[in-house]
Structure 1
Amino acid sequence: MDLQISLFLLFVLFTAGHSFSCYECVSMTGSCSDQKVKTCPSGFSKCTSLTTVTQVGGINQKLKDCTPDCVNGSMNLGIVGTSSVCCNTDLCNVKDAPDPGSNSPNGMKCYSCDEKTCSNILSCSGSEDRCITATESIEGQSVVVKGCVSKALCDTRRSVRDVRSISCCEGNLCNSANGVSQSFLFLCCSLLSFILLH
């Protein structure tokens, strides 16, 4: 009987003594030098590191945390880009995700939008091997965002709040130049918040 109790206590202590951990950080200054170790909640068995760079205002945001699911990849919408790194061992997200666009161009080209047109041509880089188009309706006006994206991000896309449709396609300039862009930054923020929080 004492042996059974001892083995049970040893099992409880062993399993309770090891929990999954990731580095945690949110920085708007482009550096996660103050990252802390976070014990992940149940069901969060992966670590992620994200970097988002916005051309308007020069914001370079870094984020690290525990997550239930994530992918490796990047997205470039012209004025804003993000890259994510996903891993599944303790404290594996010690390094920051690379700055979007820091990879070499890969020859792929997609259309992107600004406030006036969706006929800008964007050079994709690294693993960005698809073109993306996202639309929504704000106060009766169509809002369109286009750019380059990694296949992994297309394959895992889910419903994004306030976004009516998201589509990915293969081939140079496959996301056509047609479209109107109004409240363009609002839609960019919706897409980025989806990537950062899922």
Structure 2
Amino acid sequence: MDLQISVFLLFLLFTAGHSLRCYECWSQTGSCANQKETACPAGSSSCFSSTGVSQVGGITTKAMSKGCIDVCQSASYNYGYARAYSSCCYTDLCNLPDPPDPVPNGKKCYTCDGNGCSKTLSCTGNEDRCFTITDNIEGPLRVGKGCLSKNLCDASSYSCCDGNLCNGAQSVTQSFLFLCCSLLSYFLLH
């Protein structure tokens, strides 16, 4: 029994001062060649790696960052012309390798481009939901559509759905029929 207590106290002695260590970097070239080790501040429970890719007019830009974080969730979103994905790990220096580009997972969603929102997009990695988001901040109404991880749907203002191409616009005929049926039921019930 005394041996078990001694081993437990020895374990506490060696782990009490240990803080998580992660690789840290910020790169706009798409690879973290100059990453350095860093001791995470108290409260950081995980290391992360995140990558953002955008395509504008045939030019692709890729940025990457790594470091310590308090709360981390592996997640991904894809607008078609811009996407970002992150991964988390929980042991010392576990975020050394650059995360691989996610591979297509078979799910398809609608995305928007300059001609409308009828183009299809192949979702990748853990993107298991389609989304639609609208905003009219400082200008006309804008709509965005694409693929998203479920955990981002739960924690955001995105309108998410769970089927292939489920984020497409309803046709005018369907909306008109729904309106007519609603009005008819209102008059019949009142």
Q: Same fold (TM over 0.5)?
A: yes
- The residue correspondences of 1:148-163 to structure 2 (distance < 5 A) are 148-155=147-154, 157-158=155-156
Q: Counterparts of 2:14 and 2:105 in 1: how far apart (Å)?
A: 51
Structure 2: which 5+ residue stretches go unaligned?
1-11, 171-190
What amino acid maps onto 2:19 in structure 1?
A: S
Matched, 1:175 2:177: no
Compute the displacement of 1:108 (Å). 1.4
Partner of 1:131: 130
Partner of 1:58: 60
Matched, 1:86 2:88: yes
Partner of 2:16: 15
Scaled by the length of structure 1, the TM-score of the pair is 0.72
Answer whether contact 1:49 1:62 (CA < 8 A) is retained: yes
Q: In angstroms, what is the RMSD of aligned CA positions?
A: 2.3
Relative distance call for 1:33 and 1:172 in structure 2 (3 A) is same
Compute the displacement of 1:12 (Å). 7.8
Q: Counterparts of 1:122 and 1:13 in 2: how far apart (Å)?
A: 51
Deviations 1:52-108 (A, max 9, x none): 111123111111011111212322110011121111111111111222xx41x3321
What amino acid maps onto 2:44 in structure 1?
A: F
What amino acid maps onto 2:63 in structure 1?
A: Q
The DSSP-based 3-state class of the residue aligned with 1:91 is coil
- The residue correspondences of 1:33-44 to structure 2 (distance < 5 A) are 33-44=33-44
Return 26-35 or 38-47, whichever deviates more: 38-47
- The residue correspondences of 1:94-105 to structure 2 (distance < 5 A) are 94-99=96-101, 102-103=102-103, 105=104
The DSSP-based 3-state class of the residue aligned with 2:158 is strand
What amino acid maps onto 1:55 in structure 2?
A: Q
The DSSP-based 3-state class of the residue aligned with 1:118 is strand
Scaled by the length of structure 2, the TM-score of the pair is 0.74
Deviations 1:15-65 (A, max 9, x none): 33x211111111010110100112112222111101111112311111101
Partner of 1:110: 109
Q: Counterparts of 1:52 and 1:60 in 2: how far apart (Å)?
A: 6
Percent identical pairs in the alignment equals: 52
The DSSP-based 3-state class of the residue aligned with 2:100 is coil
Q: Counterparts of 1:112 and 1:14 in 2: how far apart (Å)?
A: 49
Based on CA coordinates, which of the two structures has the bigger radius of gyration? 2
Answer whether contact 1:23 1:64 (CA < 8 A) is retained: yes
Partner of 1:144: 143
